[in-house]
Each structure stands twice: as structure tokens, then as C-alpha cells.
Amino acid sequence: MYHELSHVWSRLNPKHRDQAYKLIGFEGIGYQNLLIPSGLAERVLYNPDGVDIAQKITLKQENGTEIYAIPIIYANHKGWTETQKTFFAYLEFNLFQIEKQPDGKWKVLVKEDGYSSVLDLKAQPDFFRQIKDNTGYIIHPDEVLADNFAFIMQERNGQKVSLSFSAEGKKLLADLEAVLRGK
């Protein structure tokens, strides 16, 4: 329940939400500024707890360069197939690289199929470094933070859930709590 309460707080407190998103490396760029190829746009699945996919994260690459990406959930097929009978069989998540265009908009890059990400999520260690290692629920910054909010509340109720967290994960809890308290 704490997780869901966090989503309510997030919607009602956009200024603090943006501050919390920055704790894990995300910054809003405005949905109106995204150029999503039609092949991907018709497959995007919007999470009601994290509708705004225009949340940019800067990712350092092995060669020292930086790229920008956004999190997107999408369907791996258009329409129903005989072999995939459940909703989650269609669901895919990845980070999608974005590039700033001369007009200030951000173009979402896809493979030749028109909808797959050019990035391999597992090959983006900087993503995992920034969001920390407290949760595997990583499909949107709001989900990452909602789990961490729940951990804070569990700790307040006497459960020592953070004992197994890394030092960086524990720091995220402290930093998020400071944002929640308006500090």
C-alpha cells in the first residue's frame, strides 16, 4: 500500500517529484518534445503510475561518451497472437536512446523494425548505478521511487529492510526521505 501511496504523493507534488526523480538521474523533458516513430508509438503501453515517459537519464558509456535515454514499456506484437495469451506476454521494457534535434525536440531512436530499442539494457551499467540496487521494479522513475518510499515506511514501522542494501541504496533512502520532508 505504501508503494501506491507514493504514486499519489508524486502526482500531487510535482515540484518535489521532480526533485526526487533527480536523485536517481531522471529529468523531465516534456512529452510534447518527444518525437516517437510511429512503429513504436502504436505499441507504447502507458503505466498509469508513471504515464510521463518523457523522463531523460544521462548514461555514461564504456568509451567515455554520454547518451540520453528514456524508459518505455511497449508491446512486442500488435494485436493478439495464438501463442501469447496473457497481457504480460506482450509487455517489454527497455531504455530508448534519444537525440536532441536542432528544433529542441528529442528523437527516439529505434532499430530497423521501427519499434525496438537500439540499446541493450544490460549493457547500461550507469543506469543501474544511478537508480541504485534497492529494487528490481525499474520500468519508470516513479516505480523505482515508489518501492524506495515503501522501504522508508517499512523501516519507520520497525522492519529492517535496508540491512541488505548497499551504502548507495541506503543513501538513496535518506535522500528521498529528505525530499519527502521538504528539505
Q: Where are any strands of DSSP class E within the chain?
A: 26-28, 34-35, 55-60, 66-75, 91-100, 106-108
**pLDDT for 5 beyond 90:** no
Q: How far is CA 136 from the centre of its chain?
A: 11
Task: Tell if the pTM clears 0.75, that is, is over it.
Answer: yes
Sequence spans of domains, the chain: 1-24+132-183, 27-131
> Distance between alpha carbon 24 and the CA centroid of its chain, in Å?
9
Which of 49-58, 65-74, 83-92 holds the top average pLDDT?
65-74
Phi-psi region of 2 (alpha: psi -120 to 50; beta: other; left: phi over 0): alpha
Q: What single-letter DSSP state applies at residue 109?
A: P
Separation CA 134–CA 132 (nearest Å): 6
Query: pLDDT per residue over 114-134, tens digit each?
Result: 999 999 999 999 999 999 999
> What are the backbone dihedrals phi and psi of residue 153, each rounded to the nearest 5 degrees, phi first?
-65, -40
The percent of residues in the chain predicted with pLDDT above 90, rounded, is 79
Residue 95 confidence class, pLDDT cut points 50, 70, 90: very high
Which H/E stretch holds residue 143?
Answer: helix 141-156
Backbone angles phi, psi at 35, to 5 degrees: -110, 100
Contacts of 157 (CB under 8 A, 6+ apart): none
pLDDT for position 20? 95
